[in-house]
Amino acid sequence: MQIAILLYDRFTALDAVGPYETLGRLPGAAPVFVGARTGPYRNDAGSLTMVADAALSEVTAPDILVVPGGPGQSALMADGPLHDWIRAVDAGTTWTTSVCTGSLLLAAAGLLTGRRATSHWLALDQLPAFGATPTGERVVVDGKYVTAAGVSSGIDMGLTLAGRIAGDAVAQAIQLGMEYDPQPPYDAGSPQKAPAEVTAELRERSRFLLNGE
Amino acid sequence: MQIAILLYDRFTALDAVGPYETLGRLPGAAPVFVGARTGPYRNDAGSLTMVADAALSEVTAPDILVVPGGPGQSALMADGPLHDWIRAVDAGTTWTTSVCTGSLLLAAAGLLTGRRATSHWLALDQLPAFGATPTGERVVVDGKYVTAAGVSSGIDMGLTLAGRIAGDAVAQAIQLGMEYDPQPPYDAGSPQKAPAEVTAELRERSRFLLNGE
């Protein structure tokens, strides 16, 4: 079961690593990090580097596609070879997935038209322009398209999908293996739960972030 | 504020990325991935590669040290240059931290003697040999030593420490930015919560895993 995880410059590391550490632990999983070129990719902050072992042309029939998000997504919204590749592999996938603003890439490639989907809470309002209906859920399953909310939600998405693919016991073993018994010291993980001033400040800051830093 | 995150062969990716995505988002944070040599390091499964931008000799005075875990830890338990480096930088850190079996490296370097600490639930019983007292808590703070339980707990550790360093509002903004509003589809993240047969099977499998695969 090949799992293709897309890398690109200025991706968000946890967006990629959450699904990797969950789906990648399924029996028979063969994860592969793939990019427009092989080699190192710098993350959003520029201080973390992950390596793509395969070029897009080398990964033609993954069973699962994972598209992470990150500020670099905004530079990839125009139609072109990446969108062509996303559409081509999607034709054969069992599951096509995204985390965070990765859903905007799926949407821009035309895959979420008429579907329910999610994204980072700061990017949800960009989905309708592509014919997708944003939802406030953390993990949205619409047919074979599974989109997750911001960054850390890829862990929940991966476990959800692991259960559908291999059954509850396997997914639970993956959760136990990674000791995913979350105990955040604050309850501020969504715009509804965070203090209003924290949400407001982040929304203000994101005006710059979402416009390419 | 330099944050040194150790890489080594067969590390667990989320162990490193959880603290990175939390502590690394603090104002003024300068995270650096460091290894015995610069260059790529393969993770536990062999399918993910992260890059160390600095060698140990180049990072002499980090403010925070993060030691991730992973099966590769077991090959690093003998005293030597890595332990020397850990002890040397620890002398100047504000916080010395670990995730998962990373605590065994801190313990083997002599830093957890007489302290309370945690580790992956399957490795907790290895701590007493180094004079550390294992606890069942997910994040253990003993002086400047902060150890986290298995793999995903590094996110909770990072947020906890972010709050201590920069205050609640900053930590909450980091949590909101990464949309860390966990909603795992199962409640199987600890040996107490997982179905007994899932825990038993993982414990059985780990006999092989903990003996170097």
Q: What is the pLDDT of residues B118-131, one digit of tens each?
A: 999 999 999 999 99
Residue A68 included in any domain? yes
Residue B102 included in any domain? yes
SS3 for A113? coil
CB contact under 8 A, B172 and A191: no
CA distances from A131 to A127, A149, A163, B34, B86 (A): 7, 18, 29, 44, 53
CB contact under 8 A, B185 and A149: no
| Reported pTM | 0.96
Residue B95 included in any domain? yes
Predicted pLDDT of residue B211: 47
Predicted pLDDT of residue B207: 74
Predicted pLDDT of residue A211: 47
Helix (H), strand (E), coil (C) string for B137-179? CCEEEECCEEEECCCCHHHHHHHHHHHHHHCHHHHHHHHHHCC
| pLDDT tens-digit series, residues A104-158 | 999 999 999 999 999 999 999 999 999 999 998 999 999 999 999 999 999 999 9
Residue B212 CB neighbours (<10 A): 10
Task: Tell me which chain B residues have a C-beta less than 8 angstroms from the C-beta of A204.
Answer: none
Predicted pLDDT of residue A209: 57
Task: Tell me which chain A residues have a C-beta less than 8 angstroms from the C-beta of B18.
Answer: 14
| pLDDT tens-digit series, residues B169-193 | 999 999 999 999 999 999 999 999 9
Q: Is the CB of residue A100 less than 8 Å from the CB of residue A151?
A: yes
Segment B133-160 shows an average pLDDT of: 97
What CATH number should be reported for the domain holding residue B29?
Answer: 3.40.50.880
Q: Please tell me the number of Cα atoms within 13 Å of B48 on its side-chain side.
A: 33
> Which domain does A34 fall in, by range?
2-183
| pLDDT tens-digit series, residues B89-146 | 999 999 999 999 999 999 999 999 999 999 999 999 999 999 999 998 999 999 999 9
| pLDDT tens-digit series, residues A16-61 | 999 999 999 999 999 999 999 999 999 999 999 999 999 999 999 9
Residue B3 CB neighbours (<10 A): 24
Predicted pLDDT of residue A136: 85
ipTM (interface predicted TM): 0.96
Residue B94 included in any domain? yes
Segment B35-52 shows an average pLDDT of: 98
| pLDDT tens-digit series, residues B48-76 | 999 999 999 999 999 999 999 999 999 99
How many separate domains does chain A show? 1
Cβ pairs bridging A and B (under 8 Å)? 223
Catalytic pick among A34, A64, A99, A100: A100
CA B16/CA A120 separation, integer angstroms:
22
Which structure tokens are listed for A100?
Answer: 């965070």
Catalytic pick among B59, B100, B107, B157: B100
Which structure tokens are listed for A156?
Answer: 């929940």
| pLDDT tens-digit series, residues A146-196 | 999 999 999 999 999 999 999 999 999 999 999 999 999 999 999 999 999
Alpha helix (H) residue ranges in A126-213:
153-166, 168-177, 196-209
Residue A192 included in any domain? no
Residue in B with minimal Cα distance to A40: B51
Across chain B, mean pLDDT equals 96
A100 catalytic per annotation: yes
Across chain A, mean pLDDT equals 96
CA distance B211 to chain A (A): 16
CB contact under 8 A, B186 and A175: yes
CA distance B143 to chain A (A): 18
CA distance A28 to chain B (A): 12
Query: Per-residue confidence at A213, pLDDT binned at 50, 70, 90?
Result: very low
CB contact under 8 A, A178 and B151: yes
CB contact under 8 A, A188 and B172: yes
Segment B21-25 shows an average pLDDT of: 97
